[in-house]
């Protein structure tokens, strides 16, 4: 039998074992959320900007077929080679095919959540390809044989001393040196070699413009450009929802993206790739991987508006205290929890429950996705489909039966009060999940009904 | 396989996309504008780790360069009229630029709201140049400043290019415990010379 994936709750429990670390993680992400607020407040028109971004995406999704055709035609006119992949496997095979065609056994990679979603690294490694992640955070988690725990801050879960240790082991930096500036410089020197000798580079795509066929890649480090411009072949991978109608719309999205992500007014580099440079090839892989299915779900369609800023993670009280890996999916946090059930409902049935439904995610989302409403709606769907947590569905059914039967309800209330007064150990023990991190209340002497009959009737 | 997937994806998208909605943007955005666009540009650029000097004429560029950078190491430029500095060769192998210490490139226009500068491919000579150099200097005529990104894209309009680039400050990362470090993979410093002609 296939090994069962531990649930979000189980993985969070592991993360929560080290309380000091949880506090540190929580505070670091909240600090990023506060930077986002300060950046947003510099623009009086911020809310209108969010509204317009949301409307542009809505319009695009309702006309996606036409915009995809426009984009393909323009990109081809620009000399870009366009590929279509129905799922992750096909995407990976296309990338591998291009590598084989060029006789390359190494690929220089910048950040792309899509390739994480498709598990490209694992696939290529199984084919004997050396994959070099060049974003500093992704390089660190790659060396540690882990996956990113955050879409913008891939190694936010790691302390600098741990990173120093990883660099000591793999890059030969002095033991015990955990200075971020020193370590970043060591990575710079190490990865320059890789950029200079790389023949095939892969990048993600932040926005693809239907009108012009160009695509925009945003980074702070400059790694996407170092890879792409120094390689003979540039492969850019994008989900089909990354298309926007016009170049002018980039103004709206670039104003929102970095401010929402890290509180910067804009990323250091916003590179607009249109045509390959002389002697180079640009391949563009358009990936569906069930986005077209999500497009057909009225309640969940707007999740495809996401521009991958990570603001919903930074603000989420559950994400901040459970860590990205507890979501066991490439995209963690609230947005991941509404995207993942579309990919595999059974494996990700627990994720819509990893939320307090406080709504903070929806409030910061730059494209106004109603994330917390969708989390709530996914709960209905996964439960109706039979993927609900059995330890919850059975008690819920019993509870429903009891609440629907007045006699049973009154009897259960009496029993509960009696037990809590005279035998509290029956409920206040570690086998009762409700008791974890909670004090049980003192049992009242009588029910409200009894009190009312005595005092008011 | 490829063509079949294309057809299948497009068919699924067409089937599943809801009825087309026109794009109706909200109230015309009163996008932010500043009383002193130049002062705001300089302030924002400093806040993101960039440096800015006001210079007058070609002699001003030259003295700002010698005053702010060590003259050792290899320099290249794409800016015309700087005879002492070798011109970047558009046909050269980009890998050969690895040892460039200082690159001086012409900026097209700057954006005050985020301190970014638009650079046309024709001003770069080689696409990798502003990334691979250790220190990047952008020469930007001081009249060429816009207030916000909407004005920026109005200005770019429907220009055709193979590659175009906004650069805002030096390459940076905060991937190690959110400590900001300048000089990740691209240029370690970024200086704008605001040129008064």
What is this model's ipTM? 0.97
- Chain A residue with CA closest to B8: the answer is A86
Confidence of residue B83 (pLDDT cuts 50, 70, 90): confident
pLDDT for A56 beyond 60? yes
Residues of B in Cβ contact (< 8 Å) with A301: 18
Is residue A311's pLDDT more than 50? yes
Question: What pLDDT was estimated at residue B28?
Answer: 65
* Mean of the per-residue pLDDT values of chain A: 95
The phi and psi torsions of A117 (rounded to 5 degrees) equal -60, -35
Nearest to A68 among B10, B152, B187 (CB): B10
Q: How far apart are CA A94 and CA A88, in angstroms?
A: 10
Asked whether the beta carbons of residue B17 and residue A62 sit closer than 8 angstroms, the reply is yes
Helix, strand, or coil (residue B122): helix
> Which of A254, A268, A366 to mutate against chain B (most B CBs within 10 Å)?
A268
Q: Is the pLDDT of residue B27 over 80?
A: no
**Partner-chain contact B163 A272, CB within 8 Å:** yes
Question: What's the confidence (pLDDT) of residue A72?
Answer: 98
Q: pLDDT digit string (tens) for A339-383?
A: 999 999 999 999 999 999 999 999 999 999 999 999 999 999 999
Residue B149 has its nearest CB partner, among A83, A196, A254, at A254
What pLDDT does B170 receive? 98
The answer to whether the Cβ–Cβ distance between A85 and B163 falls below 8 Å is no
> How many CB atoms neighbour CB A213 within 10 A?
23
The alpha carbon of residue B186 is apart from the nearest alpha carbon of chain A, in Å, by 5
Long-range CB contacts for residues A408-417, cutoff 8 Å, separation at least 24: A410/A447, A410/A449, A413/A447, A414/A447, A416/A443, A417/A443, A417/A444, A417/A445, A417/A446, A417/A447
Read off the pLDDT of residues A238-247 as tens digits, 9 standing for 90 and up: 999 999 999 9
What is the rounded distance in angstroms from the CA atom of residue A127 to the CA atom of residue A125?
5
Task: Say whether A271 and B183 touch across the interface (CB within 8 A).
Answer: no
Give the distance from residue B86's alpha carbon to the nearest chain A alpha carbon, in angstroms. 21
* Lowest mean pLDDT, pick from A15-19, A330-334, A421-425, B46-50: A421-425
Cβ separation of A45 and B172 shorter than 8 Å? no
Question: CA–CA separation, A151 vs A365, rounded Å?
Answer: 15
List the single residue in B with minimal CA-CA distance to A35.
B178
Of B25, B163, B187, nearest to A273 by CB-CB distance is B163
Kindly determine whether residue B162 and residue A275, on different chains, have CB atoms separated by under 8 Å. yes
CA distance A269 to A248: 18
Q: Is the pLDDT of residue B1 over 60?
A: no
Comparing CB atoms, the residue among B98, B132, B171 nearest residue A268 is B171
| Nearest chain A residue (CA) to B164 | A272
Q: CA of A182: which chain B residue's CA is closest? A: B181
Is the pLDDT reported for residue B29 higher than 70?
no
Average pLDDT over residues A134-155: 97
Q: Say whether B131 and A222 touch across the interface (CB within 8 A).
A: yes
Among candidates A43, A185, A220 on the partner chain, residue whose Cβ is nearest the Cβ of B172 = A220
pLDDT at B26 over 80: no
| A26-55 pLDDT tens trace | 999 999 999 999 999 999 999 999 999 999
Q: What is the pLDDT of residue A423?
A: 84
Instruction: Mutate one of A40, A83, A144, A184 to test the B interface: name it (highest B CB count within 10 A).
Output: A184
Question: Does residue A111 surpass a pLDDT of 80?
Answer: yes
How much is the pTM?
0.94
Residue pair A372/A358 in contact by the 8 Å Cβ criterion: yes
Question: Taking the CA atoms of chain A, what radius of gyration do you get in angstroms?
Answer: 25
Closest partner CB to B175 (pick from A153, A266, A293): A153
Q: Closest-CA residue in chain B for A196?
A: B95
Interface test with B, best of A269, A293, A294 (most B CBs within 10 A): A269
Average pLDDT of chain B, as a whole number:
95
Cβ within 8 Å, pair B19-A62 = yes
In contact, A113 and A151? CB cutoff 8 Å: yes
| Higher pLDDT, residue A441 or A54 | A54
Instruction: For A13, list phi and psi in degrees, rounded to 5.
Output: -60, -40
- Contact list in A for residue B27 (CB cut-off 8 A) is 48
CA-CA distances (angstroms) from residue B5 to A63, A92, A113, A282? Answer: 19, 14, 21, 20
Residue of A251, A260, A297 to mutate, testing the B interface (most B Cβ within 10 Å of its Cβ)? A251
A2: closest CA of chain B, how far (Å) = 30
pLDDT in tens, A92-106: 999 999 999 999 999
CA-based nearest distance A27→chain B, Å: 11
**Nearest CB to B16 within list A230, A262, A293:** A293
What pLDDT is stored for residue B185 in this prediction? 96
Chain A to chain B, count of Cβ pairs less than 8 Å apart?
A: 252
Minimal C-alpha gap between A439 and chain B (Å) = 35
Over residues B7-26, mean pLDDT: 94
Burial of A439 (0-12, 13-18, 19+ CB in 10 A): exposed
Strands B51-56 and B189-196, by their bridges, are parallel
Asked whether the beta carbons of residue A265 and residue B98 sit closer than 8 angstroms, the reply is: no
Region A59-80 average pLDDT: 98
Q: What is the pLDDT of residues A178-196, one digit of tens each?
A: 999 999 999 999 999 999 9
What is the per-residue pLDDT for A1? 41
Q: How confident is the model at residue A426, as a pLDDT?
A: 80
- From A383's Cα to the closest Cα of chain B, the distance in A is 24
Inter-chain touch B164–A272, beta carbons under 8 Å:
yes
* Nearest Cα residue in chain A from B173: A221
| Residues of chain A contacting residue B155, judged by C-beta atoms under 8 Å apart | none
CB spacing of B128 vs A225 below 8 angstroms: yes
Burial class (CB in 10 A: 0-12, 13-18, 19+), A300: buried
Q: Is the pLDDT of residue B53 over 70?
A: yes
Question: Using the beta-carbon criterion (under 8 Å), do A84 and B179 form an inter-chain contact?
Answer: no
């Amino acid at each position: 039998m296939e090994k069962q994936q531990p649930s979000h709750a189980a993985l969070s429990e592991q993360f929560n074992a080290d309380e000091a670390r949880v506090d540190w993680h929580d505070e670091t992400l909240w600090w990023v959320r506060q930077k986002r607020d300060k950046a947003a407040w510099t623009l009086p028109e911020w809310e209108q900007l969010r509204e317009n971004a949301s409307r542009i995406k809505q319009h695009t999704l309702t006309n996606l077929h036409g915009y995809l055709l426009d984009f393909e035609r323009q990109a081809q006119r620009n000399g870009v080679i366009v590929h279509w992949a129905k799922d992750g496997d096909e995407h990976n095979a296309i990338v591998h095919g291009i590598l084989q065609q060029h006789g390359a056994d190494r690929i220089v990679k910048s950040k792309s959540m899509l390739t994480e979603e498709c598990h490209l690294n694992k696939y290529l490694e199984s084919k004997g390809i050396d994959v070099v992640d060049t974003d500093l955070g992704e390089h660190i988690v790659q060396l540690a044989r882990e996956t990113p725990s955050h879409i913008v801050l891939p190694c936010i879960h790691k302390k600098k001393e741990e990173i120093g240790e990883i660099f000591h082991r793999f890059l030969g930096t002095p033991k015990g040196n955990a200075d971020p500036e020193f370590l970043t410089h060591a990575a710079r020197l190490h990865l320059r070699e890789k950029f200079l000798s790389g023949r095939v580079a892969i990048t993600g795509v932040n926005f693809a413009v239907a009108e012009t066929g160009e695509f925009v890649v945003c980074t702070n480090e400059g790694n996407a450009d170092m890879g792409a411009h120094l390689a003979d072949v540039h492969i850019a991978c994008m989900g089909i929802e990354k298309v926007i109608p016009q170049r002018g719309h980039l103004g709206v999205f670039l104003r929102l993206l970095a401010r929402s992500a890290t509180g910067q007014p804009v990323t250091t580099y916003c590179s607009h790739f249109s045509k390959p440079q002389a002697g180079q090839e640009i391949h563009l892989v358009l990936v569906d991987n069930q986005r077209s299915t999500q497009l057909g779900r009225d309640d969940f369609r707007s999740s495809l508006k996401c521009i991958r800023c990570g603001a919903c993670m930074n603000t989420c009280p559950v994400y901040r205290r459970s860590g990205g890996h507890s979501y066991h999916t490439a995209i963690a946090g609230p947005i991941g929890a509404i995207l993942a059930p579309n990919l595999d409902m059974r494996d990700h049935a627990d994720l819509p429950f990893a939320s307090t439904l406080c709504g903070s995610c929806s409030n910061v989302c730059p494209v106004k996705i109603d994330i917390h409403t969708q989390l709530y709606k996914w709960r209905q769907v996964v439960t109706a489909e039979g993927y609900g947590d059995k330890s919850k569905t059975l008690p819920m059914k019993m509870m429903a039966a009891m609440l629907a039967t007045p006699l049973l309800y009154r009897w259960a209330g009496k029993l509960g009060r009696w037990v809590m007064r005279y035998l509290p150990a029956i409920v206040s023990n570690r086998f009762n999940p409700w008791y974890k991190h909670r004090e049980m209340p003192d049992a009242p002497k009588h029910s409200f009904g009894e009190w009312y009959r005595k005092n008011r009737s | 396989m490829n063509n079949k997937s294309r057809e299948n994806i497009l068919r699924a998208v067409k089937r599943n996309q809801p009825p087309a909605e026109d794009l109706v943007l909200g109230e015309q955005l009163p996008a932010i504008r500043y009383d002193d666009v130049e002062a705001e540009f300089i302030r924002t650029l400093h806040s993101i780790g960039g440096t800015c000097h006001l210079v007058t004429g070609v002699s001003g560029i030259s003295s700002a360069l010698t005053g702010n950078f060590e003259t050792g190491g290899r320099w290249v430029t794409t800016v015309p009229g700087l005879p002492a500095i070798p011109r970047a060769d558009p046909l050269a192998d980009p890998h050969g630029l690895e040892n460039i210490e200082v690159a001086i490139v012409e900026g097209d226009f700057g954006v005050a709201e985020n301190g970014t500068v638009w650079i046309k491919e024709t001003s770069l000579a080689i696409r990798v140049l502003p990334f691979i150099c250790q220190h990047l200097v952008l020469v930007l005529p001081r009249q060429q400043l816009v207030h916000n990104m909407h004005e920026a894209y109005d200005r770019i309009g429907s220009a055709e290019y193979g590659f175009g680039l906004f650069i805002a400050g030096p390459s940076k990362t905060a991937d190690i415990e959110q400590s900001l470090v300048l000089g990740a993979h691209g240029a370690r410093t970024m200086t704008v010379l605001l040129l008064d002609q």
